[in-house]
Structure 1
Amino acid sequence: MEIKSLTPSFSVAGQINNDDLIALKDAGYDTVICNRPNGEASEQPTAQSLNEQARALGLEWHWLPITPGELSQAQVSDFAELLRQAEQQQRKVLAFCRSGMRSISLWALTQAQHTPSSQLIQQAKAAGYDLSGLTSELNRLYQPA
């Protein structure tokens, strides 16, 4: 598991497994958000098995599956609400999917209203992700104070 931190309280990763949940707990994460639908790959653990392990470890678990190329505004809103709740409770969050790209895209879209697209794209680039394809959407959402 390779964790990519975007902020002190939010990180993304590619697919995790049950053993990774122990490492996440040990690293101080409190909340795990799974953005991967079940069955994308035969070796992928199910969301249910990860949920059971996460809860047994005392981690908060959320399953918000995103089918590649089918990201909706409702899913962005749901993700934003999960982040808002985690922030209120001062919880450290890790979101994951197959590669981390869906999770980081969701994060960027939730931040776009108050953060310039150039900054979001640079943060993603520093973590190894190319969000340049979201530039127009991020620009459309930006509303400077």
Structure 2
Amino acid sequence: MDIKPLSPTFAVSPQIGVEDIPAIADAGYTTIICNRPDEEIPPSHQAAAIGAAAKAAGLAFIVNPVTHQGLVMDMITGQKASMEAADGPILAYCASGTRSSIVWSFTQAGEMPTQDIIAATTAAGYDLGGMAPQIDAMAKS
């Protein structure tokens, strides 16, 4: 498990497993957001399995799959609402953490300067600099 903080209350990770849930809880995360579609992974790592383990550990679990075919506004607004409703730090995961970073970036558009969003994702190892125009456009909408 490779947790990469983007802010004091939000981090991303590549795919997690049931065995990672205790360490996630011990690290202080209270909510897990699954951005990975079940179609990409075996049943042992699908949302039902991870969600059951998260709930058993007392963590909130939200499913917001982001496909490679495209990110739509409902995915962004749903994730932002989940983030606002969370009662503590959030860990979002997908295959590599990139999709989770992209969704986070769009949820922060207009909340923080685009260059700070890009700097946070870059520091975590995700080069989203090419998305600055889209983040700027989202901030203006």
TM-score by length of 2: 0.94
Matched position secondary structure for 1:32: strand
2:70 alignment counterpart: 70
- Cα offset, 1:7, TM superposition: 1.3
Identical counterparts, % of pairs: 36
2 CA distance for matches of 1:76 and 1:104? 11
Matched, 1:130 2:131: no
CA contact 2:43–2:49 (8 Å) conserved in 1: no
2:47 alignment counterpart: 47
Matched, 1:121 2:118: yes
CA contact 2:15–2:94 (8 Å) conserved in 1: yes
Write the mapping of 1:26-105 to structure 2, written as runs, cut at 5 A: 26-42=26-42, 45-86=45-86, 89=87, 91-105=88-102
Letter in 2 for 1:70: G
Matched position secondary structure for 1:66: coil
Out of 81, 90, 111, the residue aligned to residue 108 of structure 2 is: 111
Runs of 4+ in structure 1 off by over 6 angstroms are: none
2 CA distance for matches of 1:58 and 1:18? 14
Letter in 2 for 1:33: I
Matched position secondary structure for 1:28: coil
Q: Which structure has greater helix proportion?
A: 2
Q: Structure 2 unaligned segments of length 5 or more: list them.
A: none
1:20 alignment counterpart: 20
Q: Structure 1 unaligned segments of length 5 or more: list them.
A: none
Superposition CA RMSD, Å: 1.4
1 CA distance for matches of 2:45 and 2:139? 37
1 CA distance for matches of 2:116 and 2:15? 26
The Cα offsets for residues 58-98 of structure 1, whole Å up to 9 and x where unpaired, read as 11000111111410011100000001111xx3x11000000
